[in-house]
Structure 1
Amino acid sequence: MKTNPQVYAMIVAAGRGSRFGTSIPKQYLALNGQTLLQHSVARLAGSRYIDDCLLVIAADDKTAQKLDFALPIHYTFGGAERWQSVRAGLEAIIDAGANDTDLVLIHDAARPAVPHNDIDNVITAAMCEPYGAILATPVADTLKQAKSNSTLCPNDNVYRYAARTIDRTNIWQAQTPQVFRVRQLRKVLSYVAARDLSITDEASAFEHLNLPIRLVSGSRQNIKLTYPDDAILIAAILEAQQ
């Protein structure tokens, strides 16, 4: 009799990384001798719960299958939106034999420095939850709500001004991995699709249905490569972690 759910790992790597501003998808940026995608797979390989990984890639991706990875890799094609890529990956995992109560771990290719302990911590938390758990960190910086005002600016320029400070007491910054029950993730993604909702992570799909997802405190080293300056920080973190 199975005592723990099986964990299926998925890395979403179908995006173009438009905010990063390069001609190649950012998951293929080389840092410290490997691409971000290779680093991210290697992080999952350090978990005692993960034996292989599904990569969700763009249909025209010619790079991923030429790389060497630290885990056995399976592939499927993603969609235009992140949630569509996750849904495609989930269906591939179900086709591979996942049960309703098994867990799907979803990680960003652009988070190559997540500590190994954080991966196992969010998995063990999700095993105790009916819906799932995500890594996140309490927001430490002061947050400002902005307003625009062009009346004081020359040449019709629009500038933004601080309108108020937002109470950050209960504000957390979401990270990945995010880990969910198979059946419940399939349910909320179907809800998103039926209503054409805009979501930025899988946990927000659960929030639309008021389904609780546990927050697991993660490391601030687990930053996401979004802008060029982030690459400097991530390279330094990867070097320090060796």
Structure 2
Amino acid sequence: MNTTPNIHTMIVAAGRGSRFGAVIAKQYTKINEQTLLQHSVTRLASSGYINHCYLVIAADDEVASTLTFALPIDYVIGGAERWQSVRAGVSAILESGANKSDLILIHDAARPAVPTEDIDSVITAAMSEPYGAILAAPVADTLKLSAALPKQHFDDSSEFSDSDNDYIKTTVNRQHMWQAQTPQVFRIGELSRLLDYINEHQLHITDEASAFEYLDLPIRLVSGSRQNIKLTFPDDAIVLAAIMTAQA
């Protein structure tokens, strides 16, 4: 195994962020006078391992090319789904001459507060793994599994519709439960192979580590900071602004 691989870096910024509910794509939301995408690139640039970044953007994106970034940038056009965007970026990096044993670091544009030490830690961990490593945080909150309450629990005058019937079914044991974060770092040849597998079998994945899970391939968990939150809902912007101000 190549224990001193080259590090290739990619930020996925082709999504629309529908849950965020804004008119603009959420990666262009501004916090402290810069977009999330600019902040995320700057944070990656703080790592001594990273000196270049691929940005995977939507075909109709007219914003990214107007921004200035803390790293040299190459642009790649993404797909309709996240995994398709990642696959496009992986293909571009391999076509540029990357070795299949090199590492690819994939980060979300909407995580602009990842600490430098966490970036370095997940890269270092991935260097000694055959497949890769991801940042994640152990689940601290009590988890509840929900289910719709059977209709016999309501009388005919109940004001609740079927869509409102979401009630606690049970408490989920949070031992061994982790919240996945990014960056996620993988051997680029292995990731490419697994994304081809996902495409061929029309499988659904929510992050790149999920592709490895389908074939029961081990991906190491690296404990990351709880400062590394993702902008998903409008209220998250307030929290992120406070975190990034404190980090400055």
3-state DSSP of counterpart to 1:69: coil
Contact 1:14 1:79 in 2 (8 A): yes
Look up the match of 2:30.
Answer: 30
Look up the match of 1:240.
Answer: 246
Look up the match of 1:197.
Answer: 203
Distance across 2 between alignment mates of 1:140 and 1:213: 21
Query: Which among 167, 180, 184 is matched to residue 190 of structure 2?
Result: 184
- Letter matched to residue 221 of structure 2: L
Query: Which among 210, 219, 222 is matched to residue 216 of structure 2?
Result: 210
Distance across 2 between alignment mates of 1:118 and 1:99: 25
Alignment of 1:24-173 (within 5 A): 24-149=24-149, 151=151, 152=154, 153-154=158-159, 156-157=161-162, 158-173=164-179
Distance across 1 between alignment mates of 2:12 and 2:72: 16
3-state DSSP of counterpart to 1:133: strand
Distance across 2 between alignment mates of 1:227 and 1:105: 25
- Letter matched to residue 243 of structure 2: I
Deviation at residue 182 of structure 1 after TM alignment: 1.0
Deviation at residue 155 of structure 1 after TM alignment: 5.2
Distance across 2 between alignment mates of 1:51 and 1:221: 24
Deviation at residue 159 of structure 1 after TM alignment: 2.0
Distance across 1 between alignment mates of 2:145 and 2:188: 37
Query: Percent identity of the aligned residues?
Result: 65
Contact 1:118 1:135 in 2 (8 A): yes
3-state DSSP of counterpart to 2:83: helix
The number of aligned residues is: 241
Instruction: Describe the shift of the 1:42–1:164 C-alpha distance in structure 2 as closer, same or farther (beyond 3 A).
Output: same
Distance across 2 between alignment mates of 1:227 and 1:26: 10
- Letter matched to residue 82 of structure 1: R
- Letter matched to residue 12 of structure 1: V
TM-score by length of 2: 0.95
Contact 2:3 2:128 in 1 (8 A): no
Distance across 2 between alignment mates of 1:9 and 1:183: 14
Instruction: Please tell me whether residue 230 in structure 1 is matched to residue 236 in structure 2.
Output: yes
Instruction: Describe the shift of the 1:5–1:147 C-alpha distance in structure 2 as closer, same or farther (beyond 3 A).
Output: same
Contact 2:3 2:127 in 1 (8 A): no
Contact 1:150 1:156 in 2 (8 A): no
Q: Which runs of 5+ in 2 are unaligned?
A: none
Deviation at residue 156 of structure 1 after TM alignment: 3.0
Deviations 1:197-226 (A, max 9, x none): 111000010000000000000000000000
Any runs of at least 4 consecutive aligned residues in structure 1 with deviations exceeding 3 A, and if so which? none
> RMSD in angstroms over aligned alpha carbons?
1.1
TM-score by length of 1: 0.98
Which has the greater radius of gyration?
Answer: 2
Deviation at residue 149 of structure 1 after TM alignment: 2.1
Instruction: Describe the shift of the 1:69–1:144 C-alpha distance in structure 2 as closer, same or farther (beyond 3 A).
Output: same
